[in-house]
């Protein structure tokens, strides 16, 4: 009887530990507002996800290099391989399941878009990509977002520029005031920037139209 109780307790403990492990790998909500729903997830290797819906367009930022497969409800399989810091446009569509086919975990920031583009869009003469193309480059742009890759070398200064749209900023490297993987919401601003560290810094800014 005692032995059976010990086995039962051991099994309960194992279930609790397993549940805690699953929760630890669940989505971590980074931001939630009228424009976006942002989560951070860690895709463990060779663990296919269940079939999930995708009712909103998304911007996917892969913090780690690797490869994943996407299997649609129709059975079509797509595979992508990417370097660390890769940014992908993921349109709404049929349900899918995915799998990290790498041999290591992959951290992903998923930005689901609720915003709608105003008409007309505001403009500025000191857009960062115009006045400072060395540090600000457009990854891609569509009706909902403009995605910028921002890179500063050690101790580099940037030109005065203006941000006129709200944007979701994801840090790809450690910055003086932020860590790699941090996500924050930023609003309109006119400023210059300086990388005061001895290392190059890089981040992704998803401007919300």
Supply the DSSP string of 88-103, one letter for each residue: EEE--EEEEEEEE-SS
Residue 13 domain flag: no
* Contact (CB, 8 A) for 69 and 77: yes
3-state secondary structure of 205: strand
Question: At which of 57, 89, 113 does a domain end?
Answer: 113
Residue 203 domain flag: yes
Residue 52 domain flag: yes
Q: For CA atoms 183, 65, 49, 97, give the dihedral sign.
A: positive
Amino acid 168: pLDDT: 98
Residue 8 domain flag: no
Question: At which of 113, 145, 177 does a domain end?
Answer: 113
3-state secondary structure of 45: strand
**Co-location of 107 and 43 in the same domain:** yes
**Co-location of 34 and 88 in the same domain:** yes
- CATH classification at residue 105: 2.60.120.10
How far apart CA 72 and CA 117 sit, in angstroms, is 28
Amino acid 6: pLDDT: 40
* Contact (CB, 8 A) for 195 and 155: yes
Residue 188 domain flag: yes
**Co-location of 31 and 100 in the same domain:** yes
**Co-location of 171 and 109 in the same domain:** no
* Contact (CB, 8 A) for 40 and 170: no
Amino acid 26: pLDDT: 54
Residue 122 domain flag: no
| Size (the chain), residues | 209
Residue with tokens 């800014």, as numbered in its chain: 205
**Co-location of 109 and 180 in the same domain:** no
Amino acid 14: pLDDT: 34
Amino acid 88: pLDDT: 97
3-state secondary structure of 135: coil
* Contact (CB, 8 A) for 128 and 161: yes
3-state secondary structure of 156: coil
**Co-location of 104 and 140 in the same domain:** no
Amino acid 27: pLDDT: 74
Residue 15 domain flag: no
Per DSSP (E only), the strands in the chain are: 28-32, 36-43, 52-54, 58-62, 66-72, 77-82, 86-90, 93-100, 106-113, 136-141, 145-152, 161-163, 167-171, 183-186, 189-191, 201-208
Residue 7 domain flag: no
| Domain total of the chain | 2
The list of the chain residues with pLDDT below 50 reads 1-25
Contacts of 171 (CB under 8 A, 6+ apart): 178, 179, 180, 181, 182, 183, 201, 203
Q: Could you list the residue range(s) of the whole structural domain that residue 174 is in?
A: 128-208
Question: At which of 89, 113, 137 does a domain end?
Answer: 113
pLDDT by residue (tens digit) across 65-117? 999 999 999 999 999 999 999 999 999 999 999 999 999 999 999 999 999 88
């Amino acid at each position: 009887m005692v032995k059976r109780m010990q086995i039962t307790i051991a099994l309960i403990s194992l279930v609790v530990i397993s549940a805690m492990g699953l929760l630890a790998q669940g989505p971590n909500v980074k931001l939630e507002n009228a424009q976006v729903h942002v989560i951070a997830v860690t895709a463990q290797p060779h663990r296919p996800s269940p079939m999930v819906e995708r009712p909103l367009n998304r911007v996917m930022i892969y913090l780690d290099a690797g490869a994943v497969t996407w299997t649609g409800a129709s059975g079509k399989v797509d595979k992508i391989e990417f370097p660390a810091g890769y940014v992908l446009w993921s349109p709404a569509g049929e349900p899918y399941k995915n799998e990290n086919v790498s041999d290591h975990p992959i951290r992903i920031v998923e930005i689901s878009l609720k915003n709608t583009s105003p008409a007309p869009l505001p403009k500025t003469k000191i857009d960062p990509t115009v006045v400072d193309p060395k540090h600000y480059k457009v990854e891609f742009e569509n009706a909902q977002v403009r995605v910028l890759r921002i890179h500063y070398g050690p101790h580099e200064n940037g030109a005065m520029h203006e941000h006129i749209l709200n944007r979701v900023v994801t840090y790809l490297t450690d910055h003086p005031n932020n860590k790699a993987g941090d996500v924050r919401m930023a609003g309109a601003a006119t400023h210059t920037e300086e990388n005061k560290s001895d290392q190059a810094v890089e981040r992704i800014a998803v401007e919300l139209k």
